[in-house]
Structure formats: C-alpha cells, structure tokens
Amino acid sequence: MHLIIAEKHIAAKRIATILSAGKLSQVRVNGVDTYQFQDENEQKVVIGLSGHIVKLDFPSCYNNWQKVEARELIDADIITVSTEVRIVAALKKLGKEATRVTIATDYDREGELIGVEALDIIRNINPDVHFDRVHYSAITPKEITSAFKNVSKIDFNLADAGHSRQVIDLVWGASLTRFMSLAAGRLGKLFLSVGRVQSPTLTLIVDKEKERQAFEIKPYWELYALLIDKKGNDFKVQHVNRRFWEKKEVDALVSKLGKIAIVTEVVTSTKQDIPPIPFNTTEFITAASSLGFTPASAMRIAEALYIQGFISYPRTDNTVYPATLDLRAMIEVFAKGTFKEYAEKLLAKEKLEPTRGKKETTDHPPIYPASLAKKSELNEQEWKIYEMVVRRFFATFAEPAIWETIKAKFEITSEEFSATGARLVEAGWRWYYPYNAPEDRLLPSLKEGDELIVRETEIINKETQPPGRYGQGRLIRIMEELGLGTKATRHEIISKLYSRAYVHGNPLQPTKTAYAVVETLEKYAPTISKPEMTSKLEADMDKIAEGLIPEKEVLKESREMLHSIFNELENNKDKIIESLRAGLREDKMIGTCPACGSVLMVMRSKKGSRFIGCQGYPDCSFSLPLPKSGQVMVTDKLCEEHGLYNIRIVTEGKKTWNLGCPHCNFKEWQQSLRESNEIKKEKEESNLLSEHNPKKTKKITDIKGIGKVTAEKFDNVGISRPEDLKNRDAEELAKLTNISINKIKEWQENIA
C-alpha cells in the first residue's frame, strides 16, 4: 500500500481527487477521513494531517513556576507530545501496512518538519518502509501530476532547521517569560510574554513612540494664491518658501502682493512609472494592508486560496519568476471570464518580459494565480485577495505608465510662487493594477509671459508632525530588513503582540505594559531587545537548512547566548523587579477620583474580582465595575467629561472590546438597567391587568374555534369583528349560517 501524507485534510482531498481523476473512496481510519483509490495495481491512501500533530514541551516536573527557577529551563530535557491523538493512531495503523510513504506537505521548513514528524511515527513501527518526497507550488492538476512523476528525497537538513526554531523559541520564550513574569508578580493569564523575536519587535514599536513623544511640534505657515486665467480656469499656487516660521513675516509679505501674476517659467516633461515586481510574502502583505487587510487575515485567506488551487504557495521570498514556469500558458487560463480583456491584451504581445525583484530563491516561485476562479466560488474577502493577486501578476508583464508633468513658476509683485501638475498619459501597468493610483493634478494651458488675476491669497496655519507609527505592513517590511522572524512567522508575531495587550490600534500603538517591559529590558538585558541576537540565530538556522552547520551546534550556541542573558538578568534582579512593578503600576492607573481627587486604579477584591477603586480607601469608597474576564488595557485616550483613560478588554481568540471611559460605560449600564427594570415592571403590570381584564380579541379568527371557513360564513351575514358577533341574536344567526346555536353562544361568552 502506498501512503501519501498531506499537511491538511482539504489538501489531502484535492490531491487524492487529482491523482485518482475523481474515482476515490472516503474511508475513516481511527475516526480520521482518508481518501483511497487503486492505481496501477497498487492501493493508494491519502491522509491529511492538521499541521503539526506533535509539539515540543518540557517534562511536567518543570511546570511549577514557584519551585523551578526560570534558568533551569535552558538546559532542561525536551520531550515530544502528541497533540492530535486520532491522527497519530491512524498513521500508526496505516504505517504498519504501507510499503511506501510519500510526504506531500508544503515545501518549506515548517512543511518539511511536519512531514518528518509524521514519517518518524511510521518508521518507529515500520523501520524498513520506503519513503520519498514531492514538491509543488500550487495544488492544480498540472503541478500535482508533475510532482508525483518527479519524486525526490526528503530534505532532513531543512526539517532540522524547522526543528531548531521550535527548540530555540520554546526555551527562550519559556525561560524569559517565567523570569519576567515572576519579577513583575504577573502570573496566570496576565503573564508577561517575552520572546526571541517578539521582544525586539516590540522594542521597535516602543522606540518609535518615544521618538514621537520627544518630537518638538512647531507651528508654521504656508502661503497660497488663487489664480484665474483668461478662460476663467482657477488653480492654486504656493510661495516657493513653502514654510514660514514667523507669522509676522508672512503677514508682511501678503500686505504687499498685487493682483497680477506673471508666468515666468513652464517646464513640461514625461516620467516613467515602472511596473511593480512579483509578489513575495512581504510584498503581498504590504499590498493587502493597503486594502485594509491585517497581515494575519491576508495570510489566512491566501492559505485558503492556495489549498483550493486558486493561487500558488503564499510563503515565499522569491520575486523572480523561474524559467520553468510557462508564463504565456498561465495567462491563457484567463482568456475567458472576468479578466478576459486584460489577458487578451497581454497575449497579443510577441514577447512576455516580466519584472524582476532583487530576491531570487529556488524553493517556490513568487505568488501567482494558479487557476481561474469565478466570483461566485469565493466569498467577498477571498475574491478581493484573489483579484489583487491576478492583477499584480498581469501588471508585472505590462509597460510602464507614462505621466506628463508640468512645473510652472509665477511672479506676484517680485515674490516667486510655483505649481506642479501631473497627468496620466498612458496607463500602462496601472490599467491592470489600479490600486492606490495617484490622481491627476491638472493645470490649465500656460506659457511664459501670460498674465493671470490673483483672486485671493490664503495663509494656512500648520504644525510639524512627529514621525508616523508603524502600520502592520510597514512593520513586517522592517522586520524582514532586520532579520526578525521569517516570512511564515512575522504576521504571527504581530498577532501575538495584540493578544498579549502590548499594542493596540493600527498603526500600532504600545500600551504602558509594553513600555514597562521594553524599558526594563533595554536597561538591564539589552541583548533581548536588540535585533542582532535573533538575526544571528536566524542566519544560523539558514545554515542548518543548507547543510553547513549541524543543528546540535546551533542549539548549543543558542543556550550559551541565553545563559549570558540570564547572567545580566540575575545580576540586576532587584532593579528589574522595581522597574517592572513601577512601570506596571502606571498601567493600572485610570485617572483621578471625582469624589476625593486621589488616583483611581485597577484593583482586586479579597475574593479575586476586579474593579476600579480609589487609593483614598477607606476614606473614599468610590468605585467602578469591570468585566469579569479579559485583560484590561489602559489606552492614552482621555474622556473629556470624566478625565479617565479609555480602556479596552483583550481576550485571546476574541475581538477586542473597546469599553471606552469606564465612568461613561457605568452610567450607560445603569441607564440601561433602569430602562430594563421599567420595561419589566410595565410587563408585570400588564400581565396583572390582563388577569383581571382578559385580552380583547381583535379579529374574528382570534376566537378559539373560528377558522377561515366559519369567518367567511359570518362575513356573508355582515359579521367581520368580534363585537359584531357579540351583539347579534344567536338563534337568528344560527339559522342564517347553519352553525350550531350552542357554538355561537359559547363564542359570544368568550368575547371580552
């Protein structure tokens, strides 16, 4: 039996469907769905994993944070624990019968490791089984068929590189998190997460915020004039000084300006707007961010599109299409359907010459559309991402966009003003990829010596702005430049910063907890907060993958680095405790008590419930309630009415709750409670009243026993309402309708 192992269930189903031409059976093995078919006198079984089916962990004797020192985790034994018991059991059962195993997981470090983990389980019970590997970049019939015709060997070096990352991240994360959490007194769900990649990334965000806070805002003024030509066209020109730092200077200048502007220079030129490079993961995430997708959601959608066979593998560093790709054939796929017009224009070219980025790798090509999708096959978000990938792919084959630019200078009473204009002359690649295109800035036809009327002047008051915060897409690009994380993990690191309540908003803004952690690390263990250490380990892991360094050597070096960091931490333990607790105390401050003027803080009662209480207690008993669960995040936004900081409630795996001002929230809750009680009271009174005054029937059919046929009989004799029935003589009515007189009397008695 030939056992084929895919990374996920849906991928297994697609691969089996392609290989069997749809002639397959779904068979459950130990509660796990497998796909089986006969091929060339050989039984084939395809099983999907659930990503990693085992994980690394410490033995349970290390779990007690109070009894086991954080440093002991550095050299602790590491064990492998099954996380998907049913899949492991199914693998063992199928592995016993298998004569051949083919690993068909995603081709990267993580995928290679996932495949080797599954293979190790099988080899433990069937050591002589033959095994091989298939590589593909898209789950399409052509790619899958080709992959299984050209099997290769498993890259154990690549798997070792993935395994080393797991070990290093576990040891660094667990030991540092335990040390810092114990120092801060933050245990349980409120632990302080510290990590090899996470902490330098958080430092970037905090340092950027400090840079913003240190920025000195200065007022300045800009001077504009509104000009009108002979045809009545108007447009704005700006004084060439751009910024005036003294108001009196610009006021003096305005006072002497006349009403005529003379054109002194007109320079017209054209500018080429070069087509974009192919999508690698970072380029893709940056582009998706500009459309409003977070890196995590963009990658989740891209992964779903890849598994469905609509796009190629989305985790790649490559920005150069390999020569093995038949680019014309790939475009021909779109010669029908939504993108027909664009595909036909490209196919009309004699030669297709795509753009090339600076990064060229051999594992996967850049992200490209692998097959034609219909809009009805995808949800709205999937279609947006798919369309963006298709359009970017087309744009890489297109001509440059051509802009006509105009630079003009004007003289108004010896003062020089200027204006620029731009017009898209040839759309080029922007026709295929219209996202974030600059708008035309048109100027009327001008020539030197033209006189124009100055209709009015305008002074605009502005202020210098601090450097912008990092958006998620920009932060991922910075992480890539600094060697922080990998294409597969950077978006996960950012998601972790949100879930740990270290940052909020987008662009990312650090919380006071983030400040406390980063400032403590920068002062007493700077190695953790800088990118050099983690980028060195990343480079070493690359060397493991290339077979240049054994994994054991890198793990040894990693542990030595961590021991040197712990020397710093332990030598400064008392200072770290003081620094963290002082910083985290600020993170609990909500504002000033309206009753006594003391500080309001997040507190806990003796029973463990939390609330906002006054430090003036017991003299002041002012308090505000807080939700029972979730982490309280204090933002820097102040309520104008109450002078309290707005708060958010962060619960891992759930959407962040913007609770806002806790005082406003409490007042709104009280108001809704009062309204709810009033509604409840009205209901009770209404029910009590209805017991003494039975509910009036509004329609004849509301009377029990009167249906549609009887209602029609009554309608024929002029009875359409209950009151009509009540006031009629029962005996007479019985004769007219041929309905029992006793029935009519019963109905009349029941009418309120």
Q: How far apart are CA 435 and CA 428, in angstroms?
A: 13
Q: Tell me the CATH number for domain 281-395.
A: 1.10.290.10
Q: How far apart are CA 68 and CA 564, in angstroms?
A: 19
Residue 677, pLDDT > 80, answer no
What is residue 689's predicted lDDT score, i.e. its pLDDT? 52
Residue 700, sorted as left (phi over 0), alpha (psi -120 to 50) or beta, turns out to be alpha
All residues at 6 or more sequence positions from 478 whose CB lies less than 8 Å from its CB, including other chains: 204, 470
What is residue 22's predicted lDDT score, i.e. its pLDDT? 86
Give the position of tokens 């006969």: 38
Q: What is the mean pLDDT of residues 357-364?
A: 85
Q: Count CB atoms within 10 A of the CB of residue 404.
A: 15
Residue 683, pLDDT > 70, answer no
Q: What is the mean pLDDT of residues 453-481?
A: 94
* Contact (CB, 8 A) for 435 and 390: no
Q: What is the mean pLDDT of residues 627-632?
A: 81
Q: What is the pLDDT of residues 435-447, one digit of tens each?
A: 988 888 889 999 9
Q: What is the pLDDT of residues 294-345, one digit of tens each?
A: 999 999 999 999 999 999 999 999 999 998 889 999 999 999 989 999 999 9
Going by the DSSP 8-state scheme, the letter that residue 434 receives in this structure is: -
* Contact (CB, 8 A) for 281 and 317: yes
Q: How far apart are CA 581 and CA 602, in angstroms?
A: 14
Q: Of residues 136, 313, 342, 433, which has the active-site annotation?
A: 313
- 3-state SS, one letter per residue, for 447-504: CCCCEEEEEEEEEEEEECCCCCCCCHHHHHHHHHHHCCCCCCCHHHHHHHHHHCCCEE
* Contact (CB, 8 A) for 9 and 33: yes
What is residue 271's predicted lDDT score, i.e. its pLDDT? 93
Confidence of residue 697 (pLDDT cuts 50, 70, 90): low
* Contact (CB, 8 A) for 652 and 499: yes
Q: What is the pLDDT of residues 132-190, one digit of tens each?
A: 999 999 999 999 999 999 999 999 999 999 999 999 999 999 999 999 999 988 777 77
- Write phi, then psi, for 9 (nearest 5 degrees): -60, -45
Q: Is the torsion defined by CA of 486, 487, 488, 489 positive or negative?
A: positive
Strand, helix or coil for residue 634: strand
Residue 476, pLDDT > 80, answer yes
- Note the pTM of the prediction, 2 decimals: 0.80
Let me know if domain 2-154 sits in CATH 3.40.50.140: yes
Higher pLDDT, 605 or 37: 37
All residues at 6 or more sequence positions from 49 whose CB lies less than 8 Å from its CB, including other chains: 5, 6, 7, 8, 84, 87, 105, 114, 118
Residue 653, pLDDT > 90, answer no
Both tokens of 465, joined, read 């702005």
Partnered with residue 222 across adjacent β-strands are 460
Q: At what angle do helices 573-586 and 551-571 cross, to 10 degrees?
A: 80
Q: How far apart are CA 226 and CA 237, in angstroms?
A: 7
Q: How far apart are CA 307 and CA 138, in angstroms?
A: 8
| Per-residue burial over 142-158, b = 16 or more CB atoms within 10 Å of its CB, e = otherwise | ebbeebbeeeeebbebb
Residue 695, pLDDT > 60, answer no
Q: At what angle do helices 472-482 and 295-307 cross, to 10 degrees?
A: 80
Identify the CA nearest to 137 among candidates 323, 319, 365. Answer: 365
Partnered with residue 268 across adjacent β-strands are 406
Poorest-pLDDT segment among 52-61, 274-283, 384-393, 498-507 = 498-507
What is the rounded radius of gyration, in angstroms, for the C-alpha atoms of the chain? 36
Determine how β-strand 130-133 pairs with β-strand 100-104.
Answer: parallel
Residue 359, pLDDT > 90, answer no
Q: What is the dihedral of CA 22, 24, 27, 29, to 10 degrees?
A: -100
Confidence of residue 687 (pLDDT cuts 50, 70, 90): low
Residue 424, pLDDT > 80, answer yes
What is residue 381's predicted lDDT score, i.e. its pLDDT? 94
Higher pLDDT, 222 or 597: 222
155's enclosing H/E stretch is none
Give the position of tokens 């708060």: 647
CATH class of 219-267+406-421+431-463: mainly beta
Both tokens of 553, joined, read 């050597």
Both tokens of 369, joined, read 């559309």
Confidence of residue 368 (pLDDT cuts 50, 70, 90): very high
Q: What is the mean pLDDT of residues 193-206?
A: 94
* Contact (CB, 8 A) for 194 and 173: yes
Q: Tell me the CATH number for domain 176-214+472-581.
A: 1.10.460.10
Q: What is the pLDDT of residues 510-525, one digit of tens each?
A: 988 899 999 999 999 8
Give the position of tokens 């054939």: 329
Report, in this order, helix, strand and coil percent for the chain, each rounded to 5.
Answer: 45, 20, 35
Q: How far apart are CA 206 and CA 209, in angstroms?
A: 5
Identify residue 198 by its one-letter amino acid code.
Answer: Q
Q: What is the mean pLDDT of residues 548-562?
A: 95
Q: How far is CA 154 from the centre of its chain?
A: 33
Q: Count CB atoms within 10 A of the CB of residue 681.
A: 10
Going by the DSSP 8-state scheme, the letter that residue 73 receives in this structure is: G
- Reply yes or no: is the peptide bond before residue 618 cis, omega within 30 of 0: yes
Identify the CA nearest to 485 among candidates 197, 284, 160, 171. Answer: 197
Q: Is 313 a catalytic residue?
A: yes
- Reply yes or no: is the peptide bond before residue 127 cis, omega within 30 of 0: no
